[in-house]
Amino acid sequence: MFAAEFAGLQALRAAGARAPEPYRCGETFIEMEALKLDARPDWPALARMLAGLHRNTHDRFGWATDNWIGLSPQKNGWSEDWPQFFWDFRLSPQLSKANLKAKDLKIEKLFKSYKPVPSLLHGDLWNGNVGFTAAGPVIFDPAVYFGDREADIAMTELFGGFPEEFYSAYERELPLDGGYETRKHLYNLYHLLNHLNLFGSGYRRQVEATLGFLRDRLQ
C-alpha cells in the first residue's frame, strides 16, 4: 500500500500537479513532505491544476501496477478499450464483492459517440484529498491510472462536492463533452460500491438507486 502511495505521489508531481513530496517508504510507513494546509481555498487554481494533470495522456488506459482505492485493492492492467477496462478492473470486482449482479448493464452504450482520451487521473478525488497552502492547491492520497478525465470530475461531486467556481474554471480549461451528466453516475458507481464494501449497508440504497438510474438509460 505504501509503495503504491509513493509511486502515485511521484506520478502526480512528475505531471506538474502539486502533491506532497514522498521521501521514503517501507512495509509499514511512508515519509513525505509536511504541508501547512491552512490557506484560503482557491478553487479555480485547483481546477486549472487538475486540467493540467489531465493533459498528461497515454496511448492506453490503465496503469503498470496495482494500487489501492482507500483500503480496497485496485487492480490495474492495460487496455485500448475504455468501457471494457472500466468494467473488468473497476466495476466487476466491486460488484462481486458486494454480491450484486449487473451483467445486463450495457455500459458500452454510453460511449457510442464519446471516445475518451487516456488521461492521468488522481483516481480518488473527493474534498478530503484536497488542501490549500500559501503556495496554492495540493492533492494527495491518489489512486492513479490513465482513464477518462470525467471520472475525476464525477467523484468531485460525491461526498459534499466542490464549489461551483471549481467547475466553471475547469470548463474554461477543458470543457466536458455532452453526456457527462449520465456518465458521471457510471463512474461514481465504482466509488459507491467501494464504500458499500468498506463501510457497510448504509450505502446500499445509493448503489441500488444508481444502478436503477443507469439501467433506465441503457435499455
Decide if 124 is catalytic: yes
Catalytic residue (one of 81, 124, 148, 152): 124
Report the distance separating Cα 189 and Cα 214, nearest Å: 10
pLDDT at residue 22, rounded to an integer: 98
Residue spans of the chain under pLDDT 70: none
Average pLDDT, the chain: 97
pLDDT at residue 103, rounded to an integer: 84
**Contacts with 185 (C-beta within 8 Å, 6 or more apart), sequence order:** 154, 210, 213, 214
pLDDT at residue 77, rounded to an integer: 97
Q: Cell numbers for 17, please give them.
A: 500537479
pLDDT at residue 87, rounded to an integer: 97
Q: What is the pTM of this model?
A: 0.96
Report the distance separating Cα 208 and Cα 210, nearest Å: 5
Q: Which of 192, 158, 159, 195 has its CA nearest to residue 71? A: 195
E-strand stretches of the chain: 22-25, 30-32, 61-62, 67-69, 72-74, 78-79, 119-121, 130-133, 136-139, 145-147
Which structural domains are found in the chain, ordered by start? 36-217 (3.90.1200.10)
Asked whether 131 and 37 are in contact (CB, 8 A), the reply is yes
Q: Which of 75, 77, 73, 80 has its CA nearest to residue 64? A: 77
